[in-house]
Structures are given as C-alpha cells and as structure tokens.
C-alpha cells in the first residue's frame, strides 16, 4: 500500500505525522475543570467582610494584562487562550477548562474582592489557572497540570514573565521573606523577589482563611508525601510552593509544556534528595520525585 493511502488512513484515525511533545493537542471538549480552591462557601461572606478596593475596571484591566502576554504564548503551544471574568459573581474561586479548542480561564469578583487578595495576588491566581494549561508535569488529566504544579508555574514562570522590567520596588515585605530573597537572589533580582513574596503571602492568607489555619514564611511544611498529591495541598504547603518557584533560578522555557518528569527537570529546580527539598524545588509536602 502506498504511503499516501497509509497516511490517509492514519489521518482519518489518528492524524498523520508526529506531534511535538512540547504541545498538548486540544480536545473538542474536556469535562475536567481545574480550580484554584476546593469548592467552598466563602461566597456567603460577600458583603460581610472588608474588601480590597478592587473595582470592576481594575478587575478587567488585570485580566487584559495577563491575556496580552499569554495569548501568543498559548497560541504557540497549540491553544486559544480565553480569559473570562464576572466581577458581579460572588464565587470565591477560579477555574481552567478546555472546550472547542479554547483554553479557558474563568475569574470571579468574589475572589478578586477578598480582603486577603492584593492586586498582585489576583494576578497570581490568574497565572495559576494559566498554569493548569501550560505548566505541564505532573498532570491531573491528559492536559491539566495538577494543583501544586499550577502554583509552582505561577511563581517560577508567570510572575517573572508578567512583571519583567516592572518589579515595583517594595518597601513593606515580611522580614522572613526578605531574608530569603536577600540570601538566595542577586541584588538585581531583589525587587521582583520582594514583590513576588508579597503576592505569595496574599494568596496564602486566603488559603489559610479557607482552612482556618495560619501560614508563615517561618514555618515551612516538613511533611513528605509517599506519592504526588494531585489535589489542593494544605495552605502552608502551597505557600512553600510559591516561595520555591520564586527562589528557583532556572529559567522556564515558555515554548515547552513539560510532558515528563525528565523534561520538567530541565527547566526548573529539582531536589537532590527524595526526603528533603532543596532551595527552589517543588516541596515534598505534595511532590514525590521518582528520578
């Protein structure tokens, strides 16, 4: 049988030719909906707690800023990024899903207006949802990076991409976070590091409010999982993940969605120990390295 007919038959069934491992093929519809938070009833507090001054104009502007940067990146990776927002919806969450070739991110005013969330914190939540689409291994489905990886992507990749050259030198920053930045980052990187740490803490405070726990840069989660946790890690563990991504000095390659642990290790920090995470590597409170 000629190659033409072989390819024609293969194209009908599977598509002829190989696909780059750096891209995940879009399915028509995915029933997976990856969320920033576990399902919750924090919406009941809408109007009962102090807000953060987030106006609808700010809400839309922040989403537009992320969209402008990540639309071409996602297009290069094989998707069509759609960031949708509903400022008047009290849902305290954010979601990522795929449908008809669109890689969707859904944001809500209920989360954006929470007193714990700063404007930079809101940026990081959007980045987390983008991370579900392009953060890569480890996966929770055929396309979605798991929760810990979406957190890690937001800090190691997205924050640096979005705030490159616009680090907004920060005066107020947690003293322990400042020590971490001062110890592990170059002088030219400090302003961005401080800014990221403030955003990290903003998010972690909301995570703590959901679980009724306190988080701190001084008390990292020392637990070690027996297998990678694909669900939402505890608030402290998630703060540790954001901090790790902030302190990792390996440059993330925006042209690649890492498909395997080996590919992941080439563009991010990897722990040299399976019982103790090294600086910048994914915390072992949710990630179990196998190589």
pLDDT digits (tens, 9 = 90+) for 191-234: 999 999 999 999 999 999 888 999 999 999 999 999 999 999 99
The pLDDT assigned to 167 comes to: 61
Which of 54-68, 82-96, 110-124, 271-285 is the least confident region?
Answer: 271-285
The pLDDT assigned to 165 comes to: 72
Count of structural domains, the chain:
1
State the Cα angle at 254 between 62 and 100, rounded to 5°: 70
Residue 118 lies in a domain: yes
Residue 4 lies in a domain: no
Residue 11 lies in a domain: no
Which of 4-13, 62-71, 190-199, 228-237 is the least confident region?
Answer: 4-13
Residue 202 lies in a domain: yes
CA neighbor of 111 nearest in space, from 211, 42, 204: 42
The pLDDT assigned to 16 comes to: 37
5 pLDDT higher than 80: no
The whole domain housing 91 covers: 25-266
Residue 288 lies in a domain: no
Percentage of residues in the chain having pLDDT higher than 90:
76
Residue 5 lies in a domain: no
Supply 44's token pair.
Answer: 């009941």
Residue 281 lies in a domain: no
Q: Tell me the mean pLDDT in the region 135-152.
A: 98
pTM above 0.75, yes or no: yes
Residue 2 lies in a domain: no
The pLDDT assigned to 30 comes to: 56
How far apart, in whole angstroms, are the C-alpha atoms of residue 156 and residue 152?
6
């Amino acid at each position: 049988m000629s190659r033409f007919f072989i390819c024609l038959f293969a194209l009908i069934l599977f598509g002829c030719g190989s696909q780059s491992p750096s891209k995940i093929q879009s399915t028509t519809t995915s029933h997976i909906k990856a969320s920033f938070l576990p399902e919750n009833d924090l919406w009941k507090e809408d109007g009962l707690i102090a807000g953060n001054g987030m106006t609808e104009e700010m809400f839309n502007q922040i989403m537009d800023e992320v969209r402008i940067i990540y639309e071409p990146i996602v297009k290069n990776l094989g998707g069509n990024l759609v960031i949708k927002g509903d400022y008047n919806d009290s849902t305290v969450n954010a979601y990522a899903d795929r449908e008809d070739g669109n890689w969707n991110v859904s944001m809500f005013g209920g989360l954006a207006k929470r007193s714990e969330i700063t404007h930079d914190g809101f940026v990081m939540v959007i980045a987390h949802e983008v991370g579900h689409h392009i953060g890569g291994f480890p996966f929770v489905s055929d396309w979605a990076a798991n929760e810990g990886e979406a957190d890690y992507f937001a800090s190691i990749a997205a924050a640096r991409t979005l705030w490159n050259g616009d680090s907004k030198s920060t005066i107020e920053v947690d003293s322990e976070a400042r020590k971490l930045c001062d110890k592990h980052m170059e002088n030219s990187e400090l302003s961005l590091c401080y800014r990221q740490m403030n955003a990290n803490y903003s998010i972690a405070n909301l995570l703590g409010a959901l679980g009724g726990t306190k988080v701190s840069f001084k008390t990292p989660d020392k637990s070690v999982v027996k297998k990678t946790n694909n669900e939402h890690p505890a608030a402290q563990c998630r703060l540790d993940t954001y901090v790790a991504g902030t302190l990792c000095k390996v440059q993330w390659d925006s042209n690649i969605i890492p498909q395997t642990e080996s590919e992941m290790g080439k563009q991010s920090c990897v722990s040299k120990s399976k019982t103790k995470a090294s600086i910048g590597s994914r915390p072992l409170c949710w990630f179990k390295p196998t190589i």
